[in-house]
């Protein structure tokens, strides 16, 4: 354990706290939070600088790699990085064709972006839990005069619910847009009020409308919540296990961390795939006008 004088509880809390920048409610000054309590009191408009920085940075890495390979792509049998990227693109394209039964040129690129972006963010969970936080502590203490105990730095954006819910809400609002565009306002409202229960009798139909609206409204709102929290929960649990392993003696760390890291690779890829597939499914439902 590289926790210094910290207790096990303090070590865990420190590793699960984000580097937060926000407005101090006591004096109105914008600053970095010194404790988890400070971060909580800063409220909705506080920004997790570590989550934002890593997610944006990894997004640029994705764009750079794919654009670099696209510019250098050659005909014939691909090799190396080009071969790997072509395999990923073919894999995503096949899944989109199997899942999305309509025509929209945006869906395949969006699915590729979602899969690769989430995958890269998830992969940060394989970096040893103390390496980057200790580097951040060293830089903060020696170059910015910060108290080492108040330097927080998380490097796995998908363990931050703000990131996962932000992505899922983006998919949700895009699905709403296409639902209204393809079905019309009347069709969209009808989808929420005339299903799953319906009747040819106008009076019974009017009675069933609030029941249908409640059921369909709950199902509609549950989609982005489950979409974002599923990704967050699985990666947060994986990070917690790595942190708990880091509290053990050194020989136990090596004994447990390597097998868990190997198994966690499956979780990392699977969660990126599930997030992408659910996104395509929701977009397919938004384009489905069969009942309208």
Query: Can you tell me which residue has the tokens 């890291």?
Result: 261
234 is catalytic: yes
Q: Quick check: is 51 catalytic?
A: no
- Per-residue tokens: 47: 């920004």
Tell me which of 18, 234, 257, 284 is the catalytic residue. Answer: 234
In three-state secondary structure terms, 93 is: helix
Q: What is the pTM of this model?
A: 0.92
Residue range 91-143, pLDDT digits in tens: 999 999 999 999 999 999 999 999 999 999 999 999 999 999 999 999 998 98
Average pLDDT over all residues of the chain = 92
The DSSP code sequence of 219-278 is HHHHHHHHHHHHHHHHHHHHHHHHHHHHTS-HHHHHHHHHHHHHHHHHHHHHHHHHHHHH
Q: Which residues of the chain have pLDDT under 70?
A: 1-5, 290-292
Question: In this predicted model, what pLDDT tens digit does every residue of 23-36 receive, in sequence order?
Answer: 998 888 999 998 88
**Extents of the domains making up the chain:** 8-287
CA distance 16 to 8: 12
- Catalytic annotation present for 179: no
Residue among 67, 83, 142, 226 flagged as catalytic: 226
């Amino acid at each position: 354990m590289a926790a210094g004088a910290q207790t096990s509880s303090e070590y865990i809390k420190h590793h699960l706290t984000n580097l937060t920048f926000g407005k101090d409610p006591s004096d109105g000054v914008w600053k970095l939070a010194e404790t988890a309590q400070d971060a909580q009191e800063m409220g909705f408009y506080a920004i997790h600088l570590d989550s934002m920085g890593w997610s944006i940075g990894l997004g640029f890495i994705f764009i750079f790699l794919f654009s670099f390979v696209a510019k250098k792509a050659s005909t014939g049998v691909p090799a190396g990085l080009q071969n790997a990227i072509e395999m990923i693109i073919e894999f995503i394209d096949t899944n989109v064709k199997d899942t999305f039964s309509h025509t929209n040129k945006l869906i395949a690129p969006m699915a590729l972006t979602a899969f690769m972006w989430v995958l890269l963010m998830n992969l940060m969970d394989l970096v040893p839990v103390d390496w980057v936080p200790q580097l951040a502590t060293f830089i903060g203490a020696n170059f910015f005069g910060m108290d080492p105990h108040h330097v927080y730095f998380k490097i796995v954006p998908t363990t931050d619910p703000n990131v996962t819910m932000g992505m899922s809400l983006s998919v949700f609002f895009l699905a709403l847009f296409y639902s209204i565009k393809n079905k019309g306002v009347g069709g969209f409202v009808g989808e929420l009020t005339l299903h799953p229960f319906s009747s040819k009798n106008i009076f019974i139909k009017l009675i069933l409308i609030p029941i249908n609206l409640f059921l369909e409204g709950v199902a509609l709102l549950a989609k982005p919540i489950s979409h974002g929290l599923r990704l967050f929960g699985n990666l947060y649990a994986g990070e917690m296990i790595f942190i708990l392993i880091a509290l053990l003696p050194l020989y136990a760390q090596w004994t447990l961390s390597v097998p868990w890291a190997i198994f966690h690779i499956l979780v990392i890829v699977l969660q990126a795939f599930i997030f992408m597939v659910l996104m395509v499914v929701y977009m397919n439902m938004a384009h489905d006008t069969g009942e309208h």
